Amino acid sequence: MKRLIPFAMLLLSPTPVLAGANDPALWITIDSEAVKPVSEAFAREGWAAPTPYLEKHDVTLLPVYESQLERIAQVMHDRFNRCAGFVTYETFQEAMASLTPPDMPAAAELTVPSYTLDSATTVNKLIAVLAESNIRSTINTMSAYTTRYYTSTTGVSSANWLRTHWASLGAGRSDVTVELFNHAAWAQPSVILTIQGTTLPNQVVVVGGHLDSTSSGSTAPGADDNASGIASFTEVIRAAMAVGYRPARTVKFIGYAAEEVGLRGSKEIAAYFKNNGVDVVGVLQLDMTNYPSTRSDVKVGVVTDYTNAAQNTFLRNLITTYVGIKQANSTCGYACSDHASWYNQGFAASIPHEALVPEGNPYIHTVNDTIARSGSTANHALHFAKIAAAFVAELGEGSAP
């Protein structure tokens, strides 16, 4: 079903109270069932309700202002347990184009890897040196920032710290580089560490998670959401350096900016890779890894929507073979994390969640998202570091002499 409003009417749409010269007009796509709760939240703030421009395949296109993104993110978390649950676009044209299925890379353009598990020696070397204490340290460092919100000075500082930390881990390796991916529309950069592949350097494996945080209170520690995901694969980087792992395929570890306000960082990066013809053979997203369910014994929720079925089977096999904890399928909803950005560009993406999605951390997006809520340890996040290590070693191939 489609609902259309003449473009001229958009010029007459009410302006939110907070809008001003420094409050850019943006567009979002959001699950249609969320339009009413968002409108109700706007009314409580004294803002005019956003005017739906188009609805297609249960996704609605809305005009909003940048100052409203944080409130929308709160609604999506409180009502739908999604983070972020919507996608933000700088232009109307880009937003409209997103509602039409993109031209996916042709089979000849993307490598479909073998999902046979044949790198046990390398996986086990990596897993053997993973340490809970290092993951915990990274969580504590990142959650100590007052906020990592994408427009804040501390949000920028946290990204710069991550770049410096990753560079220190890769020091002495000529095949390792760390760079900032700057975004024109906001201050916080994304961070990318690359280990150059030895024999298949043009094929790329991506492991990522968002580095920003948000909260409805005075601070946004974001210990679980998502310092935990960043910390889990940061420990994989350290382990890879410790055992001298050199992948056959190029491996990129990415800390995305601005996920909480519509997957903005990962959307730009995934589009950049697509537009530049990068052969991404697989993407793993870690978003919330350190709060075990208190309602069931499922330790990993394998998200089945907006992900690749074949790679999900590979992921389940990795968990069974190398981690040995209980897993189950789960669904996350529209644009619930950065994996959706890669999926929307036609790349194979997967996301293992800390629990079945409805059983995840209830304290995220509040001042209480601290490591204390996870028992002041990173024991659960260590499971996900093992998953990421197995993903890197099996998909990246190569060796650790």
Digit-coded pLDDT (tens) for 240-258: 999 999 999 999 999 999 9
User: Is the per-residue pLDDT at 18 higher than 50?
Assistant: no
Nearest-angstrom CA–CA distance, 146 and 222: 10
The pLDDT, as a whole number, for residue 81 is: 83
Question: In the structure encoding, which two tokens stand for residue 237, read together?
Answer: 């980087």
For the question of residue 210 being annotated catalytic, the response is yes
Structural domains present in the chain: 7-98 (3.30.70), 120-396 (3.40.630.10)
Q: Catalytic one among 31, 70, 212, 225?
A: 225
Residues 6+ apart with CB under 8 A from 243: 125, 126, 129, 400
Tens digit of each residue's pLDDT (9 = 90 or more) over 82-133: 889 999 999 999 999 888 866 665 555 789 999 999 999 999 999 999 999 9
Closest CA to 261 of 96, 151, 145: 151
Contact 341, 285 (CB under 8 A): no
Region for residue 262 given its phi and psi (left: phi exceeds 0; alpha: psi -120 to 50; beta: otherwise): left
Phi and psi, residue 181, nearest 5°: -105, 105
Rg (CA), the chain: 20
Closest CA to 14 of 65, 52, 48, 54: 48
Give the pairing type, strands 200-210 and 279-285. parallel
For the question of residue 305 being annotated catalytic, the response is no
Closest CA to 178 of 158, 157, 164, 159: 164
Residues 6+ apart with CB under 8 A from 322: 120, 123, 124, 127, 386, 387, 389, 390
Q: Catalytic one among 165, 339, 353, 365?
A: 365
% of the chain exceeding 90 in pLDDT: 87
The DSSP call for residue 374 is: G
Q: What is the pTM assigned to this prediction? A: 0.93
- Cα-based distances in Å from 258 to 16, 87, 184: 22, 11, 12
Q: Catalytic one among 70, 260, 354, 397?
A: 260
Q: Please, which residues bridge with residue 87 across strands?
A: 29
Tens digit of each residue's pLDDT (9 = 90 or more) over 119-138: 999 999 999 999 999 999 99
The pLDDT, as a whole number, for residue 350 is: 98
Greater pLDDT, 3 or 206: 206
User: Is the per-residue pLDDT at 315 higher than 50?
Assistant: yes
Alpha helices, DSSP H only, in 46-176?
Answer: 69-80, 92-98, 120-128, 132-143, 153-169
Question: In the structure encoding, which two tokens stand for residue 79, read together?
Answer: 């009502």
The pLDDT, as a whole number, for residue 164 is: 98
Contact 206, 283 (CB under 8 A): yes
User: Is the per-residue pLDDT at 280 higher than 80?
Assistant: yes
Nearest-angstrom CA–CA distance, 366 and 387: 28
Half-sphere exposure of 60 (CA within 13 A, CB side): 17
For the question of residue 58 being annotated catalytic, the response is no
Q: Catalytic one among 77, 165, 183, 210?
A: 210
The pLDDT, as a whole number, for residue 304 is: 98
Phi and psi, residue 165, nearest 5°: -65, -45
For the question of residue 109 being annotated catalytic, the response is no
**Identity (one letter) of the amino acid at 108?**
A
98-102, 138-142, 265-269: segment of lowest average pLDDT: 98-102
- Peptide bond preceding 182 in cis form (omega within 30 of 0): no
Nearest-angstrom CA–CA distance, 309 and 317: 13
Nearest-angstrom CA–CA distance, 398 and 200: 9
For the question of residue 259 being annotated catalytic, the response is yes
Cβ count near 216 (within 10 Å): 14
Closest CA to 264 of 156, 185, 332, 205: 185
Rounded mean pLDDT, 174-187: 98
Nearest-angstrom CA–CA distance, 288 and 213: 12
91-105, 299-313, 333-347: segment of lowest average pLDDT: 91-105
Cβ count near 252 (within 10 Å): 20
The DSSP call for residue 372 is: G
Per-residue pLDDT band for 21 (boundaries 50, 70, 90) equals low
Most confident of 55-64, 75-84, 224-233: 224-233
Question: In the structure encoding, which two tokens stand for residue 9, read together?
Answer: 């009417």
Greater pLDDT, 327 or 14: 327
DSSP track, 93-108: HHHHHHTS---PPPTT
Q: Catalytic one among 259, 268, 354, 397?
A: 259
